[in-house]
Structure 1
Amino acid sequence: MPPLEDMVDSIADATGFAGVVSVDRGGESEFAKAYGLAHRGHKIANTVDTRFAIASGTKGLTALVVVSLIEEGVLDLSTTARSVLGEDLPLIDDGVTVEHLLAHRSGIGDYFDEDAGHEITDYVLPVPVHELATTEQYLAVLGGHPSKFAPGESFSYNNGGYVVLALIAERVGGQPFHDLVRHRVCEPAGMRDTDFLRSDELPERTALGYLTIEGVSRTNVFHLPVLGSGDGGIYSTVRDFTSFWHALYGGKIVSSSWVSEMLRPRSDVPSESRRYGLGFWLPESPGSQDTALLEGYDAGVSFRSVHRPRTRLTHTVISNSTPGAWPITNLLEKELAQR
């Protein structure tokens, strides 16, 4: 069997991969390597410490903020969205609960509907992206979308539902949502390089996201909200995600009993060959229920991080292009199962 690094190098070379790959076992790095450019115009290379946007990988962190507030007694899984939203977003069914939103079983209409058939390079946000910088500002895009089905009836992946969760967390938590994520998740997890960053003022050691358009190096700055919220947009590193998984399963973010509750499957999702808990994707096989993964995909972003606590194995692939992560993360899934 060829060395894993050689196999990753081969795929990276064939696909023009830009990003970082990391494999860690028991807290010890087995493989970590950066490829391609963080900034094409200035030819700045990615490094293993480069920060990348992780798109929907953010949802797991949002779920943990909400669960931490439940542990404090200021929320409950059965709390209705309406009891916190008041007159805002009147098309959200009065029966929608925090648990429905966490499990993508709310049935609410989605402001960023992934089933609408848009190309990833389409400009789909109905307001200028710079107007989406605070969670309350997202009210301008969350409203006006009729429900798809009754609360709890089925699973439908929903970005807007996680922004609603951010609104709820912010209103009951007494702090801006971005601060709640920083204080309740990133700090206890030791994620020192993870934060919400404005796409129009990215600091050093942070990758720009690039669209996949042949012959063009165009960034994603006009495609996504200038500052993310509950459904996506935080920036992180592969190293921070190794820290994240160990902190999560070690009960450092929320209690171990709540981690188990979040990783209890709520839905089978045959189209993804997976199941879903509360904020986390889970393997399709019932025998692997302690394994969890987070994933993100958007214009100029692809990310997957998987943790298997029984073997203390973590592998993370993060890229500043839309399709970049998938060939390598699929390789790791296959090869690491045999090693």
Structure 2
Amino acid sequence: MKLENLLRKIESVQQKIQFSGTIFTKQGTDSLASISFGYSNRSEKIENEVNTKYGIASGCKVFTAIAICQLIEKGELSFDSKLQNCLPFEFPHFDENITVHHLLTHTSGIPDYFDEEVMNDFEELWIKTPMYHIRNLQDFLPLFKNEEMKYPAGAKFQYNNSGYILLGLIIEQITGMSFSEYVETNIFQRAGMLDSGYFEMDALPAKTAIGYIDFSDGTWKTNIYSLPVKGGSDGGAYVTAPDMMKLWESLTNYKLLSESITKQMLTPHAHEVEGLSYGYGIWIEKNDEEVSKYLLMGYDPGVNFHAAFYPKRDLKIVVCVNTSKGAYDMISGIEEVLALSNS
């Protein structure tokens, strides 16, 4: 009966918000729901499917965190390593005490290249720096490397994309590989995420959802001019919902990292004002001092993503969306039916 209620709720949310994307839910080894709605290509009326590839925006900061933790396990780096000792670039105004830990936890205080105090629309970034020039991590540096610090290192939590760009550059510096090559080899392949990758928006592979930006008058446009051509260490990978499920399973079964460093990654290190905490690349929700949910979230024009793991239930939910919103409504509806609000 609960499964029937779950499917009815998913259908209800879809009808209410015109949800476009894929929902995949598993408890243990049992699939509870695997369902898709809408079009991956509206012009050609190609429907979204369970194996459609979706952009996940900042949801893939977890890949960067895993990669950094892998290098720490190998002794190539430490959480206390100083930024100034890790990269050959000049950051004239940056605090010399910034560490890898600060970058991982959004507590570095460095300027964010997308500063929401200065601009509301991500598309504003590409007026002076066309998005088609952003194909490598170093291409992001002119957007923030000469700016002033926002606050001293370690003073507080403030979500920061620039910090994750720097983490990606550290990975490149240590390994001699491009960031995307490292992640695809050492995370995606090891986890069996064979349909996922850092694809360029002007050369997308088959079965990849185009992102759509909807307007109040019923018109829409694609997001090809709204995002960097190729995603990086702060966001922009493409995954399928089943592949993201494999990521959860590989991470929590210690296939990507040792148990000890996985637990460090999943420990709350910084606290955000809305009640969520942040580990390394992952949001954490606690209830009475016990972790109730681990959460990945991504928001970009034409991209929306939520993936949650509820450890007490061994329950995992992945919601991939190829419009600018809908993932929160869908995952909230699923939580309501499965009585997960306090689990």
Mapping 1:184-263, distance limit 5 Å: 184-214=186-216, 215-263=218-266
Per-residue CA distance 1:31-81 (angstroms, 9 max, x = gap): 010000101111111001100000001100100001101111111101111
Q: CA deviation at 1:285?
A: 2.4
Distance 1:100 1:269 in 2: 14
Distance 2:338 2:47 in 1: 27
For this pair of structures, how many residues does the alignment match?
A: 337
Q: CA deviation at 1:238?
A: 0.9
Any gaps of 5 or more consecutive residues in structure 1?
none
- Letter of the 2:230 counterpart: L
**Bigger mean CA deviation after superposition, 123-132 or 183-192:** 123-132
Q: Structure 2 length normalisation: TM-score?
A: 0.94
Alignment of 1:57 with 2:52, yes or no, is no
Q: Residues 286 and 96 of structure 1: is their aligned pair in 2 closer, same or farther, counting only changes over 3 Å? A: farther
Q: CA deviation at 1:19?
A: 0.2
Q: Residues 115 and 329 of structure 1: is their aligned pair in 2 closer, same or farther, counting only changes over 3 Å? A: farther
Name the SS for the 1:291 alignment partner: strand
Q: CA deviation at 1:114?
A: 3.3
- Return the match for 1:311 from 290, 313, 317: 313
- Letter of the 2:263 counterpart: S
Distance 1:16 1:189 in 2: 32
**Bigger mean CA deviation after superposition, 297-306 or 139-148:** 139-148
Name the SS for the 1:331 alignment partner: helix
Any gaps of 5 or more consecutive residues in structure 2?
none
Equivalent residue number for residue 15 of structure 1: 17
Equivalent residue number for residue 92 of structure 1: 94
Distance 1:49 1:295 in 2: 20
Name the SS for the 1:64 alignment partner: helix
Q: Percent identity?
A: 33
- Letter of the 2:28 counterpart: G
Q: Structure 1 length normalisation: TM-score?
A: 0.95
Q: CA RMSD in A?
A: 1.6
Mapping 1:5-154, distance limit 5 Å: 5-119=7-121, 122-125=123-126, 126-154=128-156
Name the SS for the 1:22 alignment partner: strand
The answer as to whether partners of 2:91 and 2:146 remain within 8 angstroms in 1 is yes
Structure 1 residue runs of 4 or more that deviate by more than 6 Å after TM superposition:
none
Name the SS for the 2:213 alignment partner: coil
